[in-house]
Homo-oligomer: A and B are copies of this chain.
Amino acid sequence: MTDTPKARRPRSDGQRSRLALLAAARSAFMAGESDIRMDAIASRAGVGVGTLYRHFADRSALIEAVYADERDQLVASAPVLAARHKPLEALRQWMQLFVAYAATKKMMTPVLETVTGGAASLHERSGAPIIDAMQRLTSACVTAGALRDDIDPMDMLRAVYGVCTIAGDRPQQAVQFIDIVLAGARPGVTP
């Protein structure tokens, strides 16, 4: 069972198509055309729509693939920051990176929500590593006494995400908002 029959090298044209599709989709999403049609993406990539579906199971899979790279970078930066800074500062800087990530994602949020299964399925698939990173950074802060322990870390991230997503294009404002949230989450601070 599962014997590897020959292990052929992947075809070059297939890889080319895949990259062209990713590039076309990325540029379309970045341009804010969240409701772009699948065949439009295919023809911009210079391939037929059948080819698109050969490489990506459905719209949501394409979206996920487009943002997989950036997400991986974001996740990978967490341990680096944790090693280089004090816990609270690491968390703060990582949340700033998250804002940048969310900003590139912003225009495609409607797409995210639109996909069948809603935000849940996609967020879970694509978001698990992000949640993990956030929780590690936060618990380090709690251990260091720099943050209260009765706050769901994800709520902080959701709040920042909410500011990014719904706001216009003002990442600066979202960055400032990180400090507001962190200030409110310090031990011994109450309204």
Tell me whether A190 is interfacial, beta carbon within 8 Å.
yes
Q: Give A88 to B35 CA distance when docked, in angstroms.
A: 41
Interface centre among A34, A88, A114 (most CB of B within 10 A): A114
* Subset of 8 A-B contacts with CB under 8 Å: A150-B176, A158-B166, A159-B159, A179-B191, A181-B181, A182-B184, A183-B190, A184-B189
Tell me whether A74 is interfacial, beta carbon within 8 Å.
no
Contacts of A155 in B (CB 8 A): 163, 167, 173-174, 177
Tell me whether A48 is interfacial, beta carbon within 8 Å.
no
Contacts of A150 in B (CB 8 A): 176
Contact across chains for A190 and B184 when beta carbons are under 8 A apart: no
Q: Give A124 to B70 CA distance when docked, in angstroms.
A: 31
Nearest B residue to A159 via CB reads B159
Those of A134-186 within 8 Å (CB) of chain B: 150-152, 154-155, 158-163, 165-167, 173-174, 176-177, 179-186
Contact across chains for B162 and A166 when beta carbons are under 8 A apart: yes
A173 to chain B, nearest CB (A): 6
The size of the chain A interface, using a CB distance under 8 A, is: 41
Tell me whether A110 is interfacial, beta carbon within 8 Å.
yes
Tell me whether A119 is interfacial, beta carbon within 8 Å.
yes
Nearest B residue to A190 via CB reads B183
Contacts of A64 in B (CB 8 A): none
A138 to chain B, nearest CB (A): 13
Name the one of B114, B159, B189 contacting A183, with C-beta atoms under 8 angstroms.
Answer: B189
A111-134 vs B, CB cutoff 8 Å, 1 = contact: the mask equals 001101011000100000000000
Contacts of A88 in B (CB 8 A): 191
Contacts of A26 in B (CB 8 A): none
Contact across chains for B159 and A177 when beta carbons are under 8 A apart: yes
